[in-house]
Structures are given as C-alpha cells and as structure tokens.
Amino acid sequence: YAGGDAWVPPVLTCSGLEGHEVDTVWTRILEHRAHLGEDGLVAKRAEQQLEFTWALVRDELAERLRRSPGVSAIREQVRAEVLAGELTAPVAADRLIAAYDEQ
C-alpha cells in the first residue's frame, strides 16, 4: 500500500528510433515532476545522495577490511570456525573487526 497521494508509474512503450510515443513519455515525466513538486524532488534527490554516501562508506570499509594485515592473519581461521559451526557470525564479525582495529 503506497498511500493516498502516491504516484502510480504508468507502463509506457516508445521508440526513439522510430519516434513513436516519445512525446507521451516526456509528458509523463513532466507530470511526475509536477506531482513531486520542487520540494519533493529536492528531498528525494537529497535522500538518494545520503543513501549513496552510506553505500560508498560500506564499500570503502569492506575494502579496507579485505586489505588489512590483521584481518588477513585470522581470516581463514575465522572462516573455518564459522563453517564448522564453532563460531557464530556475530562473534566472527567481532573478531575480524577487532583484528582491524588493532592495526
């Protein structure tokens, strides 16, 4: 359920190559922008930027963990213990992060 004032995206077909229904698609794009309003569009873009920021942070942290000598030293042992059921995922994560933090 999207709520009472939610935009329902239309299903459209067009062909830029053949010039078929391109004007209709553009009209719908403009209608959507009008529906969002300037404030809604700005807010949506700001939220997207925030989500993108955190995605970049997650990616960078994951890469730093992969390159960490401390993590590399225990990675295979932790992996084996998790696969053997000797170590839970939260404890394994804590060990890997602690190894990273000790650098």
- 14 has a pLDDT exceeding 90: yes
Sign of CA dihedral 11, 13, 19, 21: negative
Alpha helix stretches (DSSP H) within the chain: 22-67, 69-83, 89-101
- 38 has a pLDDT exceeding 80: no
User: What average pLDDT does this structure show over 38-58?
Assistant: 90
Cα 32 to chain centroid distance, Å, stands at: 23
User: For residue 77, what pLDDT is reported?
Assistant: 98
User: For residue 32, what pLDDT is reported?
Assistant: 85
Q: Please state which of the ranges 17-26, 36-45, 47-56, 91-100 shows the lowest mean pLDDT.
A: 36-45
Q: Does domain 38-101 have CATH number 1.10.287.130?
A: yes
- 1 has a pLDDT exceeding 80: no
pLDDT-above-70 percentage for the chain: 95
- pLDDT, tens digit, 9 for 90 and up, residues 56-102: 999 999 999 999 999 999 999 999 999 999 999 999 999 999 999 99
Exposure of 25 by Cβ count < 10 A (0-12 exposed, 13-18 middle, 19+ buried)? Answer: middle
